[in-house]
Structure 1
């Protein structure tokens, strides 16, 4: 549908027969209806109406530049329009809409910033519309939403785990809903895991507020909470023992004097395997090494040779023993 005709329809300047064509087009699909609603919002935002014979183009242009400047690394090429009192309202509005549509990023930011991310069997990194960054581990799904003129940025984490590096915005807190837990931040970085009816939150930098029922707790760097959806007791805060929870961000494993039992727990989680260290004395062995983007077999080969251990598979379980 021609955008000019949509603007004429919204402003009431379209003949009856053409209005019927536009209305039929709008009813054809949800996508057409959304395009119409977006166009209507821009029309209302520009200040144009039947009762106003002229739009303040200078103000609209200033507002457009303000929106543009809030978007990092966006390059927008536009042609400035001049005021003309002979233009009809829909003509001015069409020019403004053209300016807005020239930057898809700004249009998404102002009107439609819904986003669904699903990682399935691959790690994923994505930039969110507000400038934040999220790293998804495998089998993770989340929905992001920041409505037009909304008071907060909202994420629903339905499963899996993700690391958020949130762009600070004091006017719009970043809120994550995970089961019955609500996580609120302004600008910080943290890890959230959602699985088996529970939510885990670990803070890397800044501070995070976690609300669960009537309980509320503020977390600082290296603080961790694990909350069952059905929990009614006070939320307990613990300190993380290492930084291995972030392995999926850069596909990097950094073991620093780490007990061997912990080494295999992390590798088992990362590669969806079940490892059992058979001897208790082997569980307490300390291991220090770094692996980056290496296969599980490559890492196992190095670790087993270091301690002269062997691995035996029975069913779906791998047994580590001397």
Structure 2
């Protein structure tokens, strides 16, 4: 009986292949072996793309470069390139600095669907806004408050122990001094908080329970109902990096169902990915994709999972062959 590899085993092997690929030029035999390994399980190609991306981040950090990293191969496009998202190079038009408004109560910044924005605040803090997001900045001599009215934002907070930095998302309140964290607010969903570094306190305005303390590599889900406890979890640095690929105009999936992937792409695009058969909605995909290229994702998913695609107006339909 053949034992199916776990995702962890596949990711470990993909990491070894990626390191080997970057360290030296592969021989024809090595390339053949790699191609055979990739073809052996649809999950392997996605894990390979993720491992290559992780190495790219390390190289960029070491050389202090900001250029996007692309995977290439000889002889034209391959299945690996499809899963990588055709190189995952982000078009300059996909990231736009838009949406600055000034009102009596302070500064407003917002992004449209598919746009991202990086903002320097008056105190030296930096905010990265994800797709379809909006914040209100209300600073005084004694307060630093940002209201996230919709969407998602990453906050890199300038340290000032005398004036805590507060983010409000509905009834959720996140308090920090100097740290880096994300807050995600979507309609009819719990508010999500992820701490990349430092410490924050998460609370609910109407709740009588004390704030929950989150440290580095933790996340919280805050339900809109004040009676519900704040749920906290540990999260790995790699998982946080995956969550933050949107800053580069990319989406990372790891064993993500097609239904969840389609919903995530809908955050960035007017075109919708439609799963025609409920039987395939729970099929999983792993890989790194360009956020504003739902067609590229659909083609990669179809090739990886043995499906077919069809376009009807603004709908990209994934269906069994």
TM-score tier after normalising by the smaller chain length: 0.5 to 0.7
Matched with 2:124 is 131
CA contact (8 A) 2:174 2:203 kept: yes
Q: How far apart are residue 119 of structure 1 and its match?
A: 1.6
Matched with 2:309 is 311
Q: How far apart are residue 120 of structure 1 and its match?
A: 2.8
* Structure 2 residue 179 is the aligned partner of structure 1 residue 185: no
Q: How far apart are residue 286 of structure 1 and its match?
A: 4.2
Structure 1 unaligned residues grouped into runs of 5+: 1-111
Cα distance in 2 for partners of 1:173, 1:119 equals: 26
Q: Secondary structure of 2:196's partner? A: strand
Q: Deviations over 1:166-215 (max 9, x none)?
A: 12222221101111121101122221122326522222222221011223
- Cα distance change of structure 1 residues 201 and 140 upon mapping to structure 2, 3 Å threshold: same
Question: CA RMSD for the aligned pairs?
Answer: 3.1
Q: How far apart are residue 219 of structure 1 and its match?
A: 1.7
Q: Deviations over 1:230-284 (max 9, x none)?
A: 3313212234594444243221223345454443343233325354373546734
Q: Secondary structure of 2:231's partner? A: coil
Matched with 2:165 is 174
TM-score (norm 2): 0.55
- Residue of structure 2 aligned with 1:115, choices 107, 110, 132: 107
TM-score (norm 1): 0.55
* Structure 2 residue 208 is the aligned partner of structure 1 residue 214: yes
Cα distance in 2 for partners of 1:261, 1:303 equals: 12
* Structure 2 residue 218 is the aligned partner of structure 1 residue 223: yes
Larger C-alpha radius of gyration, 1 or 2?
Answer: 1
- Cα distance change of structure 1 residues 274 and 224 upon mapping to structure 2, 3 Å threshold: farther
Matched with 2:295 is 297
Structure 2 unaligned residues grouped into runs of 5+: 1-103
**Higher-RCO chain (CA-CA 8 Å, sequence separation at least 6):** 2
Equivalent pairs, count: 208
- Cα distance change of structure 1 residues 297 and 133 upon mapping to structure 2, 3 Å threshold: same
* Structure 2 residue 192 is the aligned partner of structure 1 residue 194: no
Q: After the TM superposition, which residues 40-189 of structure 1 pair with which residues of structure 2 at under 5 Å, given as runs?
A: 114-121=106-113, 122-148=115-141, 150=142, 152-189=143-180
